[in-house]
Structure 1
Amino acid sequence: MKKIPVVAVVGATGAVGREMLDTLVRRNFPHAEVRALASSRSAGTKVEFGAKKLTVQELTEDSFVGVDLALFSAGGSTSEKFAPCAVKAGCVVVDNSSAWRMDPAVPLVVPEVNPDDLAWHKGIIANPNCSTIQMVVALKPLHDAARIKRVVVSTYQAVSGTGQKAIVELENQVRQLFNGQEATNTVYPHRIAFNCLPQIDVFLDNEYTKEEMKMVLETKKIMGDDSIRVTATAVRVPVFYGHSESVNIETEKKLTSKEARAILSQAPGVRVLDNPGEKIYPMPIFAAGEDETFVGRIREDESIENGLNMFIVADNIRKGAALNAVQIAEVLLERDLLRIS
């Protein structure tokens, strides 16, 4: 009989950490105990866990004694320091930061796409970037049917992807502008209210941003196919929750829009919203607070022989972060891949 795990959520006071706690409750994840961990600044505060409140404990190198599973969402430097401590204590880590994603020894997993990669984990599993997760959920069934050769994606990403400070900044800027005041910005390099910023994260030597290259490299690793060519443009938009993506794919085998729609209608984790005649298509207001990845505007690309366009939307805090991490944990538990002492 499998032991019920002790679970820790690292970064429990952040937006994703709180969503992880809520997702554990919503999905009835089996647990003997749940511990909320965060920095010393948050120690002693309370966070909700269903009908209960958990007292936040300070994250230290000794926090993982007796813990079987740790869900990390506290930034890359925190993961780099404390994830190895957790593994040393016999704990399996699902990490939401970018710290371990491209490490060849660490599986990068979306359960609807590559759950079998969990079998070779060595204690750490990486949760992909939010914009990558929702895209590959939609791409994998099409890749299986017709083999994708090339992906061109432009993203329209909500401010919640930057964190709570960005949400507050957008709220404040809208209020300031409506009151005839000058909008102040500290989180983003330019005003985000009523604007679009074609920069997410820092620019690299190849003139892409770090966010864009995450999508390029992570897609290849998750899909298990280095031959897929990917190019991305990532844009921050004045939306609170829900990342949108305009995706163009080129396939080896011809797929009609009707065939693609039928395939995606049966795909796990996907909800097709695609009736333009009735003004039905994915939008962030539909995806916010939902678990599925929404796909619509599916149409054939008339500029190439085997091309498709689609519009993909998902809640970046749920499927793009907390939900995907908990789904990984569910597969680990189901397949007896937690190294429980």
Structure 2
Amino acid sequence: MRLEESGEEAFVDITSVHNHPLCRNPEYWPDVGERIQVRAVGRRPSGQLQMSHRESALDGVLGGLPTRDPSVPPGLGPIERAVVVAHRDGGLRVRLVESGRVCTLPAALVSDDPTECAEENWPAVGERIRVRRLGVWPGGEVRVSCTMFTDGPVPGPPPSFYASRTNRASKSVIAYTRTLPEAVVDRVRQVGDAVSARDWDRAEELTSGNRLDWEEIDDFMTTYGQPPYTPLPDGFETDMYAAPIHGGGNWIDCLLWTEAERPSDVEISLKITPAPDDPDRLDASLVRMRAIGFRHPERHDQRPRPQGPGWTPPS
């Protein structure tokens, strides 16, 4: 930054952007050209002046409370579905599906991968994406992000306990799953591939009596997955498990796979039973879909967005 009075260039360390760690994410950094208040806190070994934008450094209070108050500010808005309505300089305009509100998606927040932030790689107009509201900036602009889907720094690889569904089930359940007939495993693969490809006509042929409709399933995959989804690979059954159903058949939980997560945290549950009129034919129904595991330990429960100077919650 450049100080207005002296014209000297100064530096604000990432830890000095805000008192709360969540608000130090790049999504909440001041815009280029924005005027902010800072206070000098020293000089770096190179001689560069170091400043702080923390509220506690500016006025000694945080949200009207003493700076050592342990209370945590609210978090982000929920993950929502949106449709791209326009491309413009510096970002995209998107419309939230549920509220119809038009928001701004800055180019830098299109993806965690810098190459995906280039304009030629932006989602096309009309494409549906998932976003998370960051708040309302001065001037009334609602900003969203396609990158901030966790409430803190993205952790490293999860412990080995979470690496496979094998570690989440008892030995008897694992043994039962490994002895499923080949026809049952093949039906799970076919349904999983149809759902992953969003081929609802094919999925309709393979299932019946589903508790969810295809629009609900598509919405869930858009909201909680990490698309694009891929076909189930060889050996996918090591990440699923089954339980017998009274009267015959199986309840099977199977994780879908994506290019980013292999397997993902999106799980489909199938009820596969022998057909009443032909025991050699299988009937399958999609009875549940959920987000589980390390990324969504509370089943995709989300928190409110953070508060702070420079933005206010949407009305």
Name which one, 1 or 2, has greater alpha-carbon Rg: 2
Which structure is higher in RCO with an 8 Å CA cutoff and minimum separation 6?
1
Higher helix share: 1
- TM-score relative to the length of structure 2: 0.26
- TM-score relative to the length of structure 1: 0.24
Higher strand share: 2
